[in-house]
Amino acid sequence: MGTKVKAIERNVAFEKGKQKWAYVMQADLYGQLTQSKVIEEAAVRSGLAKQVINAAWGAIGAVITAWATEGHSVAVPGLGSLRFGLNSTAVEDVNKVSSSLINRRYIIFVPNADIKEELAKTSVNITCYDRNGKIVKQVTSADKNDTGEDDNKDNTNQGGGTSQGGGTSQEGGGTNQGGDSSQGGGTTEGGGGDDNVSL
C-alpha cells in the first residue's frame, strides 16, 4: 500500500485581493494507531506475549524520557533517535538571559537510514481536488522521491541564535551546526529531515 497524498487547489497569492491558484500537496493520514494496537501487532510479529511487549514499551519510554531530558540524543530502537530542542528570543545583554526567553520546546526526531530508504521507495498515490472539492485526477507513482533531508537547508536560524533544521557544512547547507558549540545547542542531526514535534 502506498502513501496517500492529497493535491488540493488553493489560492496561494500573498497579496490581498489577488488570486493565484495552484495545487498544493499534503500527506493524507489514514489514522492513528493506538498504543494497545501497536503492542498487539508487535506481539504477533515477535512471538512474545503482549505483557512482555507492554513492559518493554514502558521501560523504553522511561529510559528515553529520563536521558533525553538531560540533554542526550537517545536511540529509539528500529527507528532512529530523538532529543529535545528549543526556540528562544535573542538578547544582546547577558544580564537579560533567562528561561523566560524560551518560546517553544519541542522534540527532534532523526530517522535512521532504513526508515529513510523505506520512505524513498514507497509508492505515492495522489488524489487531486479542485477548488470546489471535486476529484479531478488520480496519480500513482512508484518513483523514488526525496525523503525530505534537504527541505530546510536554506533555513539557517529558527530563533535563539541556534541553527535548527538547517543543513550542515558536510551536507552542503553551509550553515553552522549547534550555534557557538560543536555539539548540541538545540541543533538537529541529519539536516532538514528531522521531524519537530512541539511539546
- CA 6 vs CA 10, 25, 124, 133: distances in Å: 12, 5, 10, 11
Confidence check: pLDDT of 181 > 50: no
Confidence check: pLDDT of 84 > 60: yes
With both helix axes pointing from N to C terminus, report the angle between 35-46 and 50-68 in degrees, rounded to the nearest 10: 120
Q: Higher pLDDT residue, 133 or 167?
A: 133
Prediction pTM value = 0.55
Q: Higher pLDDT residue, 38 or 191?
A: 38
Sorting pLDDT into bands at 50, 70 and 90, what band is 196?
A: low
Q: What is the CA radius of gyration of the chain?
A: 21
Confidence check: pLDDT of 198 > 90: no
The reported pLDDT for the residue numbered 176 is 40
Percent of the chain with pLDDT over 90: 54
Q: Higher pLDDT residue, 56 or 177?
A: 56
Confidence check: pLDDT of 76 > 60: yes
